[in-house]
Amino acid sequence: ETGVTQTPRHLVMGMTNKKSLKCEQHLGHNAMYWYKQSAKKPLELMFVYSLEERVENNSVPSRFSPECPNSSHLFLHLHTLQPEDSALYLCASSQPGGGRTNTEAFFGQGTRLTVV
Amino acid sequence: ELKVEQNPLFLSMQEGKNYTIYCNYSTTSDRLYWYRQDPGKSLESLFVLLSNGAVKQEGRLMASLDTKARLSTLHITAAVHDLSATYFCAVDMWMDSNYQLIWGAGTKLIIKP
């Protein structure tokens, strides 16, 4: 148990579907992140929320839409995805301190997404 | 350009041998992380290195940080099969008015019995 829980663990969706990924952290952290991990590519930071406000977007396509209703929950809403969006999507949280927005990140188990 | 480079990207070795994974980064940082990822699993934090000269050890793994050289090493002593995994380093870097974690590409380590 990592303290960061993601659901679902696996998701297969068509290109016209709308789905959402959910992340919940029980660590009392106030920063949460979405990462994308594709085969043979470095981890890509998609979104950062600190104190429930988005602080980083990293030019992610609009077919990915994040939502952070409170410091414990993070969603990634998906619509009209492409096959190349198939990847492992990882949620992480951290507890920034000393004026820094990043310290040690704790990761969820990830959602393996396949777009068909 | 902000880059974090790991070397090697793939390593196959025998049990009982020693080896070192290198992590170079392109700009000033005093905070570096090592993570482990097993196939199909998430990332597990191994070490947090917070200052120049920091050295941390856990079992057969030892990590060090040289901020002047912008280099961290992850040394494996007398490798065992259970250490087979992909190892990532990540560096805190100041960009776009925030600190962000910049990730290396990972080193896939296979340890053969």
Contacts of A100 in chain B (CB under 8 A): 31, 92, 99
Check if B3 contacts A (Cβ < 8 Å).
Answer: no
Instruction: Suggest the residue from A43, A95, A111 to mutate for an interface test with chain B (most B CBs closer than 10 A).
Output: A43
Cβ atoms of A15 and A84 closer than 8 Å: no
- The torsion of the CA quartet A75, A79, A83, A84, rounded to 10 degrees, works out to -60
Residue-wise pLDDT tens digits, B9-42: 999 999 999 999 999 999 888 789 999 999 888 8
Look at residue B24 in the predicted model and tell me its pLDDT. Answer: 95
The DSSP symbol for A61 reads -
Contacts of B31 in chain A (CB under 8 A): 100, 103
Cβ atoms of B113 and B81 closer than 8 Å: yes
Closest CA–CA distance from residue B16 to any residue of chain A (Å): 28
Residue A81: pLDDT over 90: yes
The SS3 call for residue B82 is helix
Look at residue B92 in the predicted model and tell me its pLDDT. Answer: 83
Residue-wise pLDDT tens digits, B53-110: 899 999 999 999 999 999 999 999 999 999 999 999 999 877 666 667 889 989 999 9
Residues forming beta bridges with residue B112, ordered by sequence position: B14
Cβ atoms of A14 and A60 closer than 8 Å: no
Contacts of A55 in chain B (CB under 8 A): 98
Confidence of residue A104 (pLDDT cuts 50, 70, 90): confident
Cβ atoms of B4 and B90 closer than 8 Å: yes
